[in-house]
């Protein structure tokens, strides 16, 4: 995801002291369920969230997860969901930066990225176990799916940002745009001291 390696990375470097990032690796994936059959994309994805996931329907995750960009995206998102889970539910920017750059050439790059990000040996082992165990991997992905579907309003595209619980927005394409959004939210909450980039 170019946005993660560019604007988000730059923004986190400039504003990380006032940002609690919750990166949710699920994107525009969905499962076809009876309540939504016959709908076209993206309505079928939105229907799945509203009518199945958010209502805890028994069929919400019984079918295959249809990843917008195919199985490779599914593997990448699954690893990122597992990494977040083994890191105590916290997003590791160091892991994401490394993995987003390397996983297109080898999905197993997550092992080296865990080391680069400073994961403990136990966390690195748990990450591998999570990704290679189908039940654990699905549990991590379901957690990301539930968070994605709980967004209000539903996301329209990716990346999708929700800042301080306010209405979501499609990801700004430049770090300066995202910085302005975050700085405005911080100023509205009277956060001090503000990083220099907030002026």
Mean pLDDT by 10 residues, the chain (199 residues): 68 86 93 96 96 96 95 94 95 90 77 95 97 97 96 82 75 75 91 90
Residue 101 sits at φ, ψ, to 5 deg, of: -80, -35
**What pLDDT does 20 receive?**
86
**What pLDDT does 105 receive?**
64
pTM of the model: 0.89
**What pLDDT does 188 receive?**
92
Q: How far is CA 179 from CA 8, 72, 78, 97, 166, in A?
A: 9, 31, 28, 19, 15
**What pLDDT does 5 receive?**
62
């Amino acid at each position: 995801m170019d946005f993660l390696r560019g604007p988000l990375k730059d923004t986190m470097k400039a504003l990380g002291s006032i940002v609690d990032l919750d990166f949710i690796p699920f994107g525009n994936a969905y499962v076809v369920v009876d309540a939504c059959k016959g709908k076209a994309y993206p309505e079928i994805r939105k229907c799945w969230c509203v009518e199945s996931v958010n209502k805890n329907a028994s069929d919400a995750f019984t079918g295959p997860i249809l990843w917008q960009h195919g199985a490779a995206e599914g593997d990448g998102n699954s690893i990122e969901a597992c990494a977040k889970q083994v890191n105590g539910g916290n997003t590791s920017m160091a892991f994401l930066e490394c993995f987003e750059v390397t996983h297109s050439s080898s999905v197993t790059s997550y092992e080296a990225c865990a080391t680069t990000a400073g994961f403990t040996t136990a966390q690195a082992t748990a990450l591998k176990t999570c990704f290679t165990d189908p039940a654990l991997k699905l549990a991590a992905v379901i957690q990301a799916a539930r968070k994605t579907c709980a967004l209000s309003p539903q996301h329209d595209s990716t990346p999708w940002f929700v800042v301080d619980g306010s209405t979501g927005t499609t990801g700004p394409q430049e770090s300066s745009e995202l910085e302005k959004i975050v700085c405005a939210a911080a100023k509205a909450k009277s956060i001090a001291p503000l990083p220099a980039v907030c002026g």
